[in-house]
Structure 1
Amino acid sequence: MTQSNAFPLKIPFLASLGVQCTRMDKEGSEIQLALEQRHQNSWDMAHGGVLMTLLDVAMAIAGRAADPDGRGVVTIEMKTSFMAPGRGNLIARGQCVHRTTTMVFCEAEIVDGEGRIVSRGSGTFKYVKRMPPQRASAGAADTGADG
C-alpha cells in the first residue's frame, strides 16, 4: 500500500514535527521532513533526536509493511550513525532486511535535498497486535508506554 503524505495511523508526535509519509509498501518506506528552525540544534542543523526519530519511523513503517498479518511494531533496539549535517529537506528511506515470526530487522538512511547521506540506522522491532492503551483508575497517572 502506498501512502500519500499521510501515515496509516494517527501519530500526534509526527504530525507536530511535520513529518510526511510518502511511501509504505512491501519494498520499504519513505518519509520526509522540511527542516525548520524548531528542528535544529545550536549549530543550525538537524538535532540528533530529530534524525533518530526519522530513522526509527522509517524503519518501523518498513517493518509494518513487511508483515502479512498487519501487526504493529515496537522498537527493541536501534543503532545510529551521524555522517553529515542535516539541512533543508530530509528524506528517510527504510527497508526490512530480515523477518521472523515475532521480530523484524530493518535499516534506514537519511539524505538531504542534494542526495548526501546525513545519517544511517539499523534497528530491531518486535511485532505486536495493536491494543488500546491500558488506563489507570480515575485520577491516577497513565503508566502506559509510548503506545
Structure 2
Amino acid sequence: MAELTDLQQAIIHFYHQNPFIEYLHAQVVPTQGGGVRLELTVEEEHTNLYGIVHGGVLMTLADTAAGAACLALNKKVVTINLGMEFMHSIPLTTHIIATGRVLHDGRRTMTCESEIRGEDGKLYAKGHGTFYVLGLFQEEE
C-alpha cells in the first residue's frame, strides 16, 4: 500500500488514544482510498458464556468503523443511534474485520452502515447508525 495520508495517520493516532479500543486489542488498519478498518482476533475476553463473541464487542467495532468512515470525510461525530443485525456467531480465534461506509453526509448528521466479516468474507454482523457532527476532525488549512 502507498504511504499513509495525513488524515489516515491522524485517524489511527486518534483511535489508539481511545482506551476502550486499546482494551479490546482492536487494530486500526489503513485502507486504499484514505480510510481505515478495524481488525480483531477473538480472544477469550471478547466472548460470552457461550464461547462466542459478545454482542457488545461487535457493536463497539461497528460503531467505531462507522465513526472512522466519518473521520475519513474529516468530520468528528458522536453516535445518536446504532442498530445491529447479528447473522452468525463468531467463535474464539476468528479474525474479524469491521468496515464502515457513509450513506448520508450531512452538515449536522451523518448516516452510516458497517459490516463485520471474517477474513474469508463471511458476513457476521451489520450495523446501521446515525451520527451527530461535532465539527471538523482536522482544521482545514
TM over 0.5: yes
8 Å Cα contact 1:21/1:30 also seen in 2: yes
Q: How many residues align?
A: 127
Report 1:1-147 matches (<5 A).
1-3=7-9, 6-9=12-15, 10-23=17-30, 28-67=35-74, 71-87=75-91, 88-129=94-135
Counterparts of 1:25 and 1:8, CA distance in 2 = 19
Amino acid at match of 2:82: M
| TM-score normalised to structure 2 length | 0.80
Please tell me the residue identity of whatever aligns with 1:75: T
Distance in 2 separating the partners of 1:85 and 1:35:
12
Task: Check 1:39–1:57 CA distance in 2 against 1; reply closer, same or farther (3 A cut).
Answer: same
Unaligned ranges ≥5, structure 2? 1-6, 137-141
Quick one: structure 1 residues 94 and 105, their matched pair in 2 at CA, closer, same or farther if it must change by over 3 Å?
same
Structure 1 residues 47 and 7: CA distance shift in structure 2, 3 A: farther
CA distance in 1 between counterparts of 2:29 and 2:126 reads 19
Provide closer, same or farther for how the CA distance between residues 79 and 28 of structure 1 changes in structure 2, counting only shifts above 3 A.
Answer: farther
Q: Which has the larger radius of gyration?
A: 1
Sequence identity percentage: 33
Change in CA separation of 1:62 and 1:45 when aligned onto 2, cut-off 3 Å: same
> Where do 4+ consecutive residues of structure 1 move more than 3 Å?
24-29
Higher relative contact order (CA 8 A, sep 6+): 2
> Unmatched 5+ residue regions in structure 1?
131-147
Distance 2:33 2:14 in 1: 14
C-alpha distance in 1 between matches for 2:99 and 2:14:
17
- Give the distance between the partners of 1:73 and 1:51, measured in 2 at CA: 19
What is the DSSP-based 3-state SS (H/G/I as helix, E as strand, rest coil) of the residue aligned with 2:130?
Answer: strand
